[in-house]
Structure 1
Amino acid sequence: MCVHLFGASSSPGCANFGLKQVAKDNEDDFGKDVADFLRYNFYVDDGLKSMPSVVDAVRLIERNQAMCKQGGLRLHKFASTSKEVLSHISSQDRANGLTNIDIFNQDLPVERALGVQWCIESDSFQFRIVLSDKPLTRRGILSTVSSIYDPLGFISPITLVGKKILQTMCGENIGWVDPVPDTLGIQWESWRRSLQELHSLHTRRCLKPINFGEPTVV
């Protein structure tokens, strides 16, 4: 089999198997650290890895590209918080937002990492909530609350307020399309407007404080 269907239910599993097979087949030629990157640091087609130095990062990128090429895959769309690392990557192999910018004289853009917005310049996670108009019903409120993607729970104290309103509606047996009581409607509109302030929230990706020293594994 030389090709595989795009969009089939089995496609993610087949792609994951293929990536790990490339690591297995070429580990002896390129090294265990390179193979382990493909094995353990990929989620479908997004690979995420922190490296201790620019030299280590560039070397890992070069060897992983060579390993993937050996298996017929092109590893590209790289992004990094280090402009020095990016300078070693050809523009066509950088992430889309990094292909046509002067990396040393312009701020690095916001990219997505596994669906989460990542500001490369400040190396922080942030949120830009874009809400579509939904009817003021239990169904519309559920749709809005469910549309907020926060897998790491950074804004759980905020989203819980919306979920509590929905829980109250369930407790009062309000139907899916029934009018929302005025008291809950006021709470809901106030909470919904407050979501626009989330754009100012930044959560640093790195938990290690500056001048922390060299981390060790015990």
Structure 2
Amino acid sequence: MLEQGYAEKVPTNEPTPKQGKVWYIPHHGVHHPTKVKLRVVFDCGCTYKGTSLNSQLLQGPDFTNMLIGVLLRFREEPIAVMADINAMFHQVRVPHKHVNFLRFLWWPNGDATTEPEEYRMCVHLFGAVSSPSCSNYALRRTAEDNALQYSPDVLSTVKTNFYVDDCLKSTVTEEDAVKLIHGLTSLCKKGGFHLQKWVTNSQNVFALIPINIRAVGLENMDLDRDQLPVERALGMQWCVQGDTFSFRTAVQERPHTRRGILSVVSSLYDPLGFLSPFIIPAKLLLQELCRMNFKWDEPVPSAVSRHWSEWLSELQHMSGFKVERCIKP
């Protein structure tokens, strides 16, 4: 973060800020089980003397598109492309007069045997309630400021096909997709946003994507021999090769209680409701247990337990259920 200019050491010769004009934020690292890198998360909700940074920040207008809307637009046309912005929040700088509200402590060179020193963030950070609004505004403003240089399709993509830092777009032809990728990458770059991890269901389009901005693991893919992988599209499993949505049904074993049943049902991610006919009976089972006033960790009756076991056995078959991404035949 220091090398990339996202944070800086507080200069020793800088005047001490006035009382009430400085704030220190605790932070911790978060490991994603499927990713190698560590994400630093600042606890902006941590309170001191009854207040926190988040309680003092204005959240700002909500510029985030609806997740369901982005997914539905992703299904419109036969050629699909997907990418995301690298460290989106960190590409938007905070005014210098506000950086002292984003101070934190860290050891020089990561050596925990030394005294910690004062640092501060220079960019919007993960954990602040204002970051999504500020970052989304910066992205949209980039499109507005350069509107005369790019096609209406590129501009509308920025406004309607992004969910925070994820871009999901479908086009009629491969030529349209290639033009969109080049135009969108160029436009975002003007605002300091780096679009990366491009993936598409078209091998012809994929062959024209520069290697350095392809999705991780696909940089040196042999298009004549290798199969396109399964990618996550806003949490959904997108089988790129077959251009279908599939569903993960590997759930952990849970006790036959209200809490256990709710845990399993809630673990099925289905924002577009494809699995509703299958999930609703399990929800009705939970509803019945609520009517019977069963406690959260109380074992359910044998009849309910039997129905639940039957439902779980049928759940395994969901791994073979697929839905065409494109709604057009």
TM-score by length of 2: 0.61
| Higher Cα Rg, which structure | 2
1:45 is matched with which residue?
165
2:273 is matched with which residue?
153
The amino acid of 2:192's aligned partner reads: G
Q: Distance in 2 between matches of 1:187 and 1:60?
A: 50
**1:146-184 deviation digits (Å, cap 9, x = unpaired):** 111101010111111211111111111111111110000
The amino acid of 1:183's aligned partner reads: A
* 1:180 partnered with 2:300: yes
Identical aligned pairs, as a percentage? 47
Deviates more, 1:25-34 or 1:51-60: 25-34
2:199 is matched with which residue?
79
Q: Distance in 2 between matches of 1:87 and 1:159?
A: 40
After superposing on structure 2, the runs of 4+ consecutive aligned residues of structure 1 that deviate more than 4 Å are none
Q: Distance in 1 between matches of 2:195 and 2:323?
A: 28
Structure 2 CA distance for partners of 1:204 and 1:97, relative to 1, 3 Å: farther
Q: Distance in 2 between matches of 1:168 and 1:188?
A: 12
**1:38-84 deviation digits (Å, cap 9, x = unpaired):** 11111111111111211111111101111111111111111111000
Q: Distance in 2 between matches of 1:198 and 1:112?
A: 18
2:212 is matched with which residue?
92
1:215 is matched with which residue?
none
The amino acid of 1:142's aligned partner reads: L
Which of 120, 123, 135 is the equivalent residue of 1:15? 135
Q: Distance in 1 between matches of 2:244 and 2:164?
A: 23
Contact 2:246-2:321 within 8 A present in 1 as well: yes
The amino acid of 1:110's aligned partner reads: V
Please list every run of 5 or more consecutive structure 1 residues that lacks an aligned counterpart in the other structure: 210-218
Contact 1:118-1:124 within 8 A present in 2 as well: yes
**Higher RCO structure (Cα 8 Å, ≥6 apart):** 2
Q: Distance in 2 between matches of 1:100 and 1:7?
A: 35
Give how far 1:97 is off. Answer: 4.2
TM-score by length of 1: 0.91
Give how far 1:204 is off. Answer: 0.4
Q: Aligned pair count?
A: 209
Contact 1:27-1:34 within 8 A present in 2 as well: no
Contact 1:76-1:95 within 8 A present in 2 as well: yes
Deviates more, 1:178-187 or 1:97-106: 97-106
Contact 2:199-2:214 within 8 A present in 1 as well: yes
Q: Distance in 2 between matches of 1:140 and 1:100?
A: 44
**1:72-103 deviation digits (Å, cap 9, x = unpaired):** 11111111110000000022211224234212
What is the 5 A alignment of 1:184-203? 184-203=304-323
Q: Distance in 1 between matches of 2:141 and 2:160?
A: 13
More helix by share: 1
What is the 5 A alignment of 1:75-154? 75-154=195-274
Contact 2:248-2:268 within 8 A present in 1 as well: no
Q: Distance in 2 between matches of 1:156 and 1:119?
A: 21
Q: Distance in 1 between matches of 2:291 and 2:150?
A: 59
